[in-house]
Amino acid sequence: METQEKINYQRIADAISYIRLNFKEQPNLDEVAEKVHLSPFHFQRMFTDWAGISPKKFLQYLSVEYAKNILKEKQATLFDAAFETGLSGTGRLHDLFINIEGMTPAEYKNGGQALIINYSIAESPFGNILVASTPKGICHLAFADDKEKAFHELQAQFPNAQYHQMVDHIQQEAMFIFQKDWSKLSNIKLHLKGTAFQLKVWDALLKIPMGGLETYGSLAKEIHLPNASRAVGSAVADNPVAFLIPCHRVIRSTGEFGQYHWGSTRKTAMIGWEAAQIHKMAV
């Protein structure tokens, strides 16, 4: 006899399969719930518990990924991309891109062509940093052991943007964080490109206090998705702004510090440095 857990898993698997096959018809919650023999209310709750996102958000992700492929690989017009994706018009496509990608479909298609990005190399207690900014705020910050490689990683995010090697006031405000002057943190502005889920995780990271640590599980609970630890881990790893968005403060449930995009040794040093600063302030 099948357990209830297996039955529930099969229902979610069937729902995911149905949405994948029929996303161009943009099926609504009632339609998908009926296919797996659940009420819309119970299906919404069960799907969110298992998948970590709502059925609507899952459908949006599929739609945007498909539209991105059409825009990039086929060089389709925005109208054609909206039509092919099953959306009612370019306005819907625009809204989805803003919500999921943090940019308009036109900006995605042209690779940030109209974007002007200033960048510079700065020093920190943990090695050189490449910091980049738009007029809206910091868009990228990465430890630059290899300066050329770090710049290429920045370019890969916005291949058609205009880059100027220069220090601006937005970068200067951000660098105060390494001068132990944390009174100016509220002055730091960020300009991020990410999915709604990633932005939610990065916002939660910003709430971890200096010197504090959280596990991936506790971070998932913080955003009210307790079963989404793996998805949270992926979003943490995709953080484009080192230190300012403190992904280094997230550790494993075992107490181990775990891996870090810019090196586990650097992560250990950063955690220790912050703890030391907090201790000095308390004495």
- Which residues form the catalytic set? 247
* Tokens representing residue 51 in the block: 């998948």
Q: Classify strands 116-122 and 129-134 as parallel, antiparallel or unpaired.
A: antiparallel
Beta-carbon contacts of residue 92 (< 8 Å; ≥ 6 apart): 82
Q: Is 165:117 a contact under the CB 8 Å cutoff?
A: no
Amino acid at 205: L
* Tokens representing residue 143 in the block: 């430890």
- For 167: left if phi > 0, alpha if psi spans -120 to 50, otherwise beta; the answer is beta
Q: Is 117:164 a contact under the CB 8 Å cutoff?
A: yes
Coil, strand or helix: which one is 125?
coil
Q: Count the neighbouring beta carbons within 10 Å of the beta carbon of residue 116.
A: 12
